[in-house]
Structure 1
Amino acid sequence: MTAPIAAADVTRHKWWGWGQDDVAFSVTNRPAFIDLARNEIGIDLANAPDPVAPVLTDHEVPATRLPGAVREQLAQALGEDAIRDDDEHRVLHSFGRSLPDLFRVRTGAFERLVDAVVYPGSEEDVAAVLRIVLEHDLVLIPYGGGTCISGSVTPDAEEQRPILTMNLGRLSRILEIDDTSGLARVQAGMYGPDMEAELNEKGWTVGHFPDSFTFSTVGGWAATRSSGMQSDKYGDIEDIARGLRLVHPDGVAVTKAIPGRDSGPSVHEMILGSEGRLGVITEVTVQVHRSAPVRQVIGYMYPDWEHGIRGMHAIARSTDVTPTFTRLSDGPETKFSLALSSKTPTTTKSKVSAKVQDGLFAYLRSQGWDTSEEMCLSYVCFEGSKASVEQQKSIVKKIVKANGGVTLGASVGKVYDQKKFDTPYLRDFLLGHQVFGDVCDTGATWSSINEVHTKVYEAFEEVQRGQDLPGFMFCHMSHSYHAGACLYFTFAFPYSSEEQALEQYYRAKEAVQQTFVDLGSTVSHHHAVGVEHRPWITEDIGEVGVRMVEGLFADNDPGRNLNPGKIVAS
C-alpha cells in the first residue's frame, strides 16, 4: 500500500482567505463591474488601491493551551511531523470560510484558537488520537478542506478545554474502484480535483462539483451534506455516498455500499451531515459513472424571472430530457454576471463578440425586453452521446421558446463552465474594500419558489433601509428536483465601521434566514448547519426533531468531546 503523503504536502488555503496566494480577483479591464459597484453599493473601485494582503505578525496570537505531556503522547502516536502548533497552522484551522470567520481572522479576533493540528496517516491513527482526546477530556474538530461557510470547524469561543483539529488531508487516496458496480472507495481527506483527475484517467466521474470543489474533500462533503452543481443528474451527496466508515468512541461504524437499506433507522443517514459530532469519517464509497463522450453547456435568456421559472419547471418535469444541471439567474444576477464578464474589447474576436451581444440586446429591446434589469440568463448542461445531446438540446430549445426565451448557444455556456469556481476570490477582494459579500441558500417547492424569491428581497431591502446602508442582492435557481429547487441568494453591502460590522451583517443574514423558515423553506439547501444556521434549527426540524438529534449526540458523545455545539447547542 502506498504510504500517505507528508503533513507538509497537504493542500490548504491561505490563512486569511480563499485559495492560493498567487490567485486573486482584479477589476483591471472590468469597467462595467466598477460601474455596478459604484451604482449599487456606493464604492469607488476605479480610484481605490488594490487591497493589501493581511500579515499574521500584525496580530497577537494566543499561546497554545495543549499540555506538553499530551503533545508528547500525540507525537508518540503519530510522529512529530504530524503535529503542528505554530501560529499559522493554528489560525488557519480555527476558521472556516464563512463571512464572520473571514472577518474575524483578518481583524485578528483570535478569542479562541485550536491548540494544535494533528495529521493522521491512517484510520488507526485517527482512532489513536480519539483515544487520547477521550483520556484527557479534550475537544476534537475534524477538518477536511476548511471551506465550510456555516462555522462547522470553528471552535467555541467559550471552550476552556484544549482543542485539537484533525486535518484528514493525508488520507488522500482512492483505495479501490469496483468497475462492475460503479463504486469507488475513497479516503475522506482526498480533495475533489485530485479524485476527479484520477477517476477521469480511468474513464469515470463522480460528477460532484460544489462551489468549493477546488479546496474541499470527500469526507467534508459527507459530513456537511454537500450538494454539487450537477446534482440534477448525479444527485446530492446522500445519493452519491453509498458507504461510509466512521471512527467512533466505541470503534468503527461501517455502512455497507449496497443498493437499498431495510435495517431500521439508517445509521448511514445519521452519519451524513453529522459535522463531526458522532466521530471522524475516514472513508466514503462513492457511486461513479462512466464519463460522457459529449458534454455541452448551452446558454439561454428569458425576458424575466417568471418566464424563466416556468421554463425551468417545464424542463424539470419533462420526461424526454435529463440535464446534468439547470440554472436560472434572476435579473440582478444577470446584470452582475454581464458586468463581471464584460471587458473592454482589445482583440478582433472580442470586438466581434461585443458587437454580436449589442445586436442581440438591441433586438430583444425591440421585442419589449428590459435588458438592463429584468432579463434572466440561464444555463443547461447536457451529457451523453452526440445523438442524445443533440436530441435533448432540441427539446430544451423548444421548451425555452415556448416560455418566451431565446437560445444563446454554446459559447456563453463555455465561459460559465470555465469560471464557475472563481467567485470566492471576489468575496476576498470585496472584504479588502470593507464590503461584505455573502450567500444564503434554501430549498423551496415549485409552488412557493416565486413567493420566497420576492419575500427575501423585501426582507433584505427593509433591513438595509433600517441600517441606512446600501445593498445589492441577486439570486439564482439551481438543483432542480421533481418537487422544487434551490434558491441561492447573494448579497453585498459596505459596513459602516469595524466595530459595528458583524452586527450589521447578522441583521441582514437573519432577515433572509428568517424569511426562509417563515415561508416553510429549508434553513439551508447545502451549506450545512454548524453554528451560523443553528438559531433556526428548531424552526426547521421542530422541537421533537431537535430532541431526537440532541439525544443522538448525547448518547454517542456524552462528554461533548466531538465538535460540540454544532447543529444543536447541547
Structure 2
Amino acid sequence: MSVQDNKSSFSGVTIDGRMTQGITSAIPKKRQDVLKWYGWGYKDSHFYVDGQTICFQGDRYPLEGCALPYFTDWVYQKFNLKVDPTVPFPELPTDFPKPVINEDFFNDIKSLKISHSDKGEDRLIRCHGQTLHDIYNLWRNAFERIPDIIVWPKCHNDVMTIISFAHKHNVVIIPYGGGTSVSGSITCPQNETRMICILDTSQMNRMLWLSRENLTVCFESGIVGQDLERELNKIGLTVGHEPDSYEFSTLGGWVATRASGMKKNVYGNIEDLVVKVKMVTPNGVLQRECSAPRVSCGPDFNHLVMGSEGTLGVVTEVVLKVRPLPPVKRYGSLVFPNFEFGVMFMREVAKRRCQPASVRLMDNEQFIFGQSLKPVKGWLGSVFDYLKKSYVTNIKGLDLTKICAATLLFEGELEDVQRQERLIYEIAKKFKGFPAGGQNGERGYILTFVIAYIRDFALNQEIVAESFETSVSWDRCSSLCRNVKLRVENECSRYNIKHFLISCRVTQTYDAGCCIYFYFAFKYTGIHNPVETYEAIENSARDEILSSGGSLSHHHGVGKIRKKWYKETVSDIGFSLYEAAKKQLDPKNIFAAGNLRTRENQVEEKNSIPILKARL
C-alpha cells in the first residue's frame, strides 16, 4: 500500500461490459423527507400510545400496526410507568447557530459546482449521530456548535479536491455516511473554532465494477447497506454484511468503524470482507496496489484505515468479496434452562466451528422483553401459547424466571443447511436445550431492527435507554455478564434509581471468545440530569468490563464516548504509533472530530489560521 496523488479509480471490469450508474437510494439526499430528524429510523415507523396501550405504526417490520398490550404491561411492571399519550415529540427548530465561514474555502467550493448547503436544517441533522447524548441534546436544541456547510461529492476525485481545499485553508472535515454512529464519532466538536465542513458521501453510491470470476466487487463508500445488498441480489450475489444499522449505515462507515454483522459466521466481519480500500488523506491517497487475496508486504495498512473513525481521511472506494446468494434460508430458535447452559452451548458450537450464519443467545430479561412485543392473538392462538407455556413449565420443568433463548439463522445449500440444523440441535440437547420453532427465530432476528425505535419512544416517556457492547474470552464470558449486571445494580442503588433494566445477549462467537451486548434503561422521573446519570453508570459498567477482561469495544468503535480509555487499551507505544500516523497523514488536524484520541493535535497560531467570519 502506498500514499499516492494519482486520481485513478480501482482497475477492474464493468458489469456485462456496460458502465455502471448511480443507484436510486432508499435514503434520499434530503434525508428528512424519509427519516426522522429527531431520532432513529423511518418517519413512517414509530411507537405511539393509543389510549393506554403502546402501539406500533408502520409496515416495514413484523409489528405492522399492532397494538401491544403485553409490552404495555411489561413497561408498567418493569418501570412502574403508565404511558402518557399526550406527550408530544419535539418540533424541528426554526433558529440555528450561525455558521462560521472561511470565505476562501467557501468560494473554492462554489467554484467547483459541487452540491453544497449552509441551510440550518441540513446542518442540524448532520451535526450528530445516534447516541443517547446526541438525541437528548437534539430534542432540547442544545447544540451550540453545528457544522457550517454540507458538501455532497459525487466521486473520488471530488473528495480529493475538497480535501485539498480544506487542507489549504485549514477547514475541519467530518466524513458523514449514514449518521448511525453510537459512539459520538460524527458528533460535531463543540469547541472547534475553525469552519466545519460535513463531507456527505451519500451521492457516492455506484457499483464501479464487478468480477464474477474472482467474486469481488468495487463500490463507492457512500452506498447504504440495504441498497448495496439489493443491487447485488438482483444479479444473484451478496456481501452478507448485516449490522443492526444495515438499513441506514454505509459501506464507508462499516470500514471506518471496523464493523461487524449478524451473519459474520458465514460471511465474516468487515475486515474479512475487504480486499482493498482507498482513502483520501490531506497528504495523498492511501491504497494498496495489488488486489490479490492475501499479500505479505509488511504491515497491512488496510487495518490502519479500518477503525480510523474519520480521523485520518475519507474512505472513497472499497473492493469487497461477494458470494452467490444462498438458495436456502431457514430460521430456528432454542430454549435453555438458564443463561449458563446457553453459554456452554455457544462455546461448544464455536469450538466445533459449526456456527450457522447467525446464532444469538438472550438472557432471561431479554427473552421476556422479546415475548412482550408479541401482538394479541385470537382465541386459538392464545390456546396454543398456553399449551406451549404449559409444556415448558410442567413437562420440561423449567423456571420461567431463568430460561433463556437463542435465535438461529441457517443459510446455504439445502443439504448443508439440513446437516447443520441436525448438528446444532444435537449440541443444544447436550446442554438441556430444545427447539422452539422457526417462527420465533425469524421474529427474534428481525425484531433486532425494531429495538432502536424503542429508545426514542422511551425517552419521550421518561425512560433513558441505550446499549453498549464488548468482546471477551470464553472463560470470562459468564463472570463478566454477572459482574457488569451487579455493578449496574449497585450504581442504580447509589443514584437511588429503583426502576431499571440491565440485560445482555451473546451476539457473535469466535474460537477464543464472543461479543456481549448489554441493554440498560431506567426511569428518570425526578432526576434532573438523566443523561449525565446514565453516562456515569455506563462509564462504571465500562470500567467493570475492562477489569473483567473485556474489550473497549467489539464493533461500536471508540468515538468520543470511550476515548478516555483508548490510550491504556492500546498501550503507550500503540498510542504513539497512532499519533505518528495522524501526523503523517493529517498534519494540520483537519480531520478533527476528536475520536480515539486523549489529546487533540491542535494547530498552532503560526500555521496561518485564516480569519473566521460569521456569515448571516
Q: Scaled by the length of structure 2, what TM-score is found? A: 0.88
Asked if 2 retains the 8 angstrom alpha-carbon contact of 1:115 and 1:164, the reply is: yes
Cα distance 1:359–1:246, how it changes in 2: closer, same or farther (>3 A)? Answer: same
Tell me the residue number matched to 2:47. 25
Using the alignment, how far apart are the partners of 2:509 and 2:463 within structure 1? 31
User: Which of 480, 489, 510 is matched with 1:461 structurally?
Assistant: 489
Matched, 1:55 2:103: no
Counterpart CA distance in 2 for 1:303 and 1:52 is: 42
Q: Deviations over 1:180-218 (max 9, x none)?
A: 111110110000111101101111111111010100000
- Which residue pairs with 1:546 in the alignment? 575
Distance of 1:363 and 1:11 partners within structure 2: 52
Instruction: Indicate if the aligned counterparts of 1:5 and 1:170 stay in contact, CA closer than 8 A.
Output: no
1:258 aligns to what?
Answer: 292
Gaps of 5+ in 1: none
**Amino acid aligned to 1:42:** N
1:443 shift after superposition: 0.3
Instruction: Select the residue among 345, 366, 380 that pairs with 2:377.
Output: 345
- For structure 1, which segment, 250-259 or 206-215, has the greater mean C-alpha deviation from structure 2 after superposition? 250-259
Residue matched to 1:40: 78
CA contact (8 A) 1:297 1:380 kept: yes
C-alpha offsets along residues 454-480 of structure 1, whole Å, 9 cap, x if unaligned?
A: 001001101111111121011110111
User: Contact 1:243/1:258 (CA < 8 Å) preserved in 2?
Assistant: no
1:71 pairs with 2:106: yes
Deviation per CA, 1:517-552: give whole Å up to 9, x if none.
111211111001110111221232222222221222
User: The residue matched to 1:25 in structure 2 has which SS?
Assistant: strand
Q: Call closer, same or farther: CA 1:36–1:548 in 2, change over 3 Å.
A: same
- 2:46 is equivalent to residue 10 of structure 1: no
Aligned to 2:259: 226
Corresponding residue of 2:196:
163
Using the aligned pairs only, state the percent identity. Answer: 29
Measured after TM superposition, the shift of residue 356 of structure 1 is 2.3
Residue 183 of structure 2: which of 143, 150, 156 is its match? 150
1:483 aligns with 2:512: yes
Give the 5 Å matches for 1:373-522: 373-469=401-497, 470-496=499-525, 499-522=528-551
Task: Look up the match of 2:610.
Answer: none
Q: Secondary structure at the match of 1:242?
A: strand
| Kept after mapping to 2: 8 A contact 1:61/1:110 | no
Counterpart-to-counterpart distance in 2, 1:6 and 1:325: 30
Q: Distance in 2 between matches of 1:39 and 1:511?
A: 26
**Cα shift at 1:484:** 0.9
Q: Could you tell me how far apart the structure 1 residues matched to 2:220 and 2:552 are?
A: 30
Q: Which one of the candidate residues 326, 344, 352 is aligned to 1:292?
A: 326
| Aligned residue in 1 for 2:235 | 202
- Name 2:226's counterpart in structure 1: 193
Shift of 1:72: 2.5
1:133 is the counterpart of 2:133: no
Aligned to 1:355, the other structure's residue is in SS state: helix
Quote how far apart the aligned CAs of 1:416 are.
2.5
Q: Which residue of 2 aligns with 1:282?
A: 316
Q: What's the counterpart of residue 237 of structure 1?
A: 270
The letter for the 1-side match of 2:256 is A
Q: Quote the Cα distance in structure 1 between the aligned partners of 2:515 and 2:30.
A: 30
SS of the residue corresponding to residue 215 of structure 1 reads coil
How much has 1:363 moved relative to structure 2?
2.1
Q: Structure 1 residues 14, 24: CA separation in 2 closer, same or farther (over 3 Å shift)?
A: same
Check conservation: 1:41, 1:492, Cα contact below 8 A. no
> Secondary structure at 1:378's aligned position in 2?
strand
Distance 2:143 2:24 in 1: 28
Q: Confirm or deny that 1:323 pairs with 2:356.
A: yes
| Cα-to-partner distance string for 1:6-26 (whole Å, 9 max, x where unaligned) | 999426342211122221124
Cα separation, partners in 2 of 1:50 and 1:5, compared to 1, 3 Å: farther
Per-residue displacement from partner, 1:235-292 (whole Å, max 9, x unpaired)? Answer: 1111111110111212211124322221111211101110111111001111111111
**Match 1:124 to one of 157, 173, 180:** 157
What is the TM-score when the length of structure 1 is the normalising length?
A: 0.94
Write the mapping of 1:67-106 to structure 2, written as runs, cut at 5 A: 67-79=102-114, 82-106=115-139
Relative to structure 1, the CA distance from residue 497 to residue 119 in structure 2 (aligned partners, 3 Å threshold; closer, same or farther) is farther
Compute the displacement of 1:361 (Å). 1.8
Secondary structure at the residue paired with 2:349?
helix
Q: Deviations over 1:53-77 (max 9, x none)?
A: 321236x411111234432321211
CA distance in 1, matches of 2:587, 2:105: 21
Tell me the CA shift for residue 364 of structure 1: 1.9
Alpha-carbon offset, residue 42 of structure 1: 2.3
The change in CA–CA distance for 1:109 and 1:202 in structure 2 (over 3 A counts) is same
Give the secondary-structure state (helix, strand or coil) at the position aligned to 1:394.
Answer: helix
Structure 2 contact 258–307 (Cα < 8 Å) conserved = yes
Task: Tell me which amino acid in the other structure corresponds to 1:18.
Answer: W
1:207-218 correspondence to structure 2 within 5 Å: 207-218=240-251
Residue identity matched to 1:374? K
Task: Determine the C-alpha separation between the residues in 1 that align with 2:578 and 2:312.
Answer: 11
Are the aligned partners of 1:517 and 1:539 in contact in 2 as well (CA < 8 Å)? no
Q: Which moved more, 1:456-465 or 1:6-15?
A: 6-15
| Structure 1 CA distance for aligned equivalents of residues 279 and 22 of structure 2 | 19
Distance change (3 Å), C-alpha of 1:24 and 1:358: same
Q: Which AA in structure 2 matches 1:180?
A: E
State the shift of 1:372 in Å: 3.2
Contact 1:297 1:410 survives alignment (8 Å) = yes
CA gap 1:5/1:260 in 2 versus in 1, 3 angstroms:
closer
User: RMSD of aligned C-alpha atoms?
Assistant: 1.9
Distance 2:397 2:368 in 1: 14
CA distance in structure 2 between the aligned counterparts of 1:50 and 1:88, rounded to whole angstroms: 26
Q: 1:535 to 1:497 in 2, by over 3 A?
A: farther
Distance 1:250 1:70 in 2: 18
* 1:262–1:85 distance in 2 versus 1, CA, 3 Å: same
- Decide whether aligned partners of structure 1 residues 497 and 109 sit closer, same or farther in structure 2, where only a CA change above 3 A counts: farther
Q: How far is the alpha carbon of 1:5 from its aligned partner?
A: 7.2
Asked if the contact 1:4/1:121 (under 8 Å) is kept, the reply is no
Partner of 2:346: 312
Structure 1 counterpart SS, 2:359: strand
Is this contact kept in 1: 2:283–2:586, CA < 8 A?
no
Residue 561 (structure 2) pairs with residue 526 (structure 1): no
Q: CA deviation at 1:506?
A: 1.1
Q: Secondary structure at the match of 1:447?
A: helix
Q: What is the letter of the counterpart of residue 297 of structure 2?
A: S
Q: Is the 2:281–2:586 contact (alpha carbons within 8 Å) kept by the matching residues of 1? A: no
Q: Give deviations 1:75-99, integer Å, cap 9, x for gaps.
A: 21143xx111111111111000111
- After superposing on structure 2, the runs of 4+ consecutive aligned residues of structure 1 that deviate more than 6 Å are 5-8
Q: Take 2:268 and 2:21, find their aligned partners in 1: how far apart are those partners?
A: 33
- Structure 2 distance, partners of 1:157, 1:271, is 25
Secondary structure (helix, strand or coil) at the match of 2:47 reads coil
- Pick from 592, 598, 608: which aligns with 1:563? 592
Q: Check 1:369–1:474 CA distance in 2 against 1; reply closer, same or farther (3 A cut).
A: farther
Number of residues of Structure 1 aligned to a counterpart in Structure 2: 559
2: CA distance, partners of 1:241 / 1:16:
33
